[in-house]
Amino acid sequence: MIRLKNVSKMYGPGIVGVKNVNLHIRPGEFVSIVGQSGTGKSTLVKLLIAEEAPSGGSIQVGGWEIGRIRDKDVPALRRQIGVVFQDFKLLPKKTVYENVAFALEVAGAPGRRIREVVPHVLRIVNLAGKEDRYPKQLSGGEQQRVVIARSLVHRPKIIVADEPTGNLDSIHTREIVDIFRKINEFGTTIVMVTHNREVVNALRKRVLTIHAGEIVADHEEGKYLI
């Protein structure tokens, strides 16, 4: 599903994003990536979604080789990976429904499919009835649920979440993690970057610990070590 071999990313001489990362994530896994700020967690996410190109090594995501992916193929890759960010990245001038539908519209999905899929994913994240609200009319947890709904519309095999609970209180954090757990149970691979010790410890899933751009620990049913 995801395989990284000797991957490094340099942002200039001596500025390390990640170095010598070797990693294999199997289909259906739920992997938490933990580590202090500035250790390379977000760089790893950017590499996985082809927002950055690696300086060395090879990254395979699904059938794509990220280091060699052509610009015109990036949209197709992004439609196969659901992406969830800490700062939500919702379009403020679009309603909940429009924000979710947008991911299908840009892919050229017909209107009938959009009318079927959008209410379905909104029900999965418990946002039925709030379709006409704008992002600023929602709580942080609800906004993050819209983002998750948006990431689900293409039925992705992988969801990459970068600090998805970073801006949320403990109640909303639990809601979001429960949704990820539910999605994972359906077979979707989840890669979640987080700082949240309680979340990682409660999940009892695989934990990768990054320090200074390198993976220093990889434990099945791991705990937050740092």
Q: Would you tell me which residues interact with another protein (CB under 8 A)? A: 49-53, 71-72, 74-79, 83, 89-91, 93, 102-103, 105-108, 110, 150, 154
Nearer to another protein, 83 or 192 (CB): 83
CB of 102 to another protein, least distance (A): 6
**Dihedral angle, C-alpha 153, 48, 171, 185, nearest 10 °:** 60
CB of 200 to another protein, least distance (A): 25
Structure tokens at 5: 């071999």
Amino acid code (one letter) for 216: V
How does strand 30-34 pair with strand 189-193?
A: parallel
Nearer to another protein, 2 or 83 (CB): 83
Nearer to another protein, 95 or 126 (CB): 95
Nearer to another protein, 10 or 77 (CB): 77
Helix, strand, coil percentages in the chain from 3-state DSSP, rounded to 5: 35, 25, 35
CB of 127 to another protein, least distance (A): 17
Report phi then psi at 90, rounded to 5: -100, 155
Q: Is the Cβ–Cβ distance between 5 and 174 less than 8 Å? A: no
CB of 44 to another protein, least distance (A): 16
Coil vs helix vs strand at 203 = helix
Distance CA 18, CA 35 (A): 12
CB of 86 to another protein, least distance (A): 13
CA angle 93, 98, 104 (to 5 degrees): 130
Structure tokens at 28: 């259906």
Structure tokens at 97: 């429904």
- For residue 160, the cross-strand partners are 83, 191
Nearer to another protein, 102 or 225 (CB): 102
CB of 213 to another protein, least distance (A): 21
Nearer to another protein, 105 or 220 (CB): 105
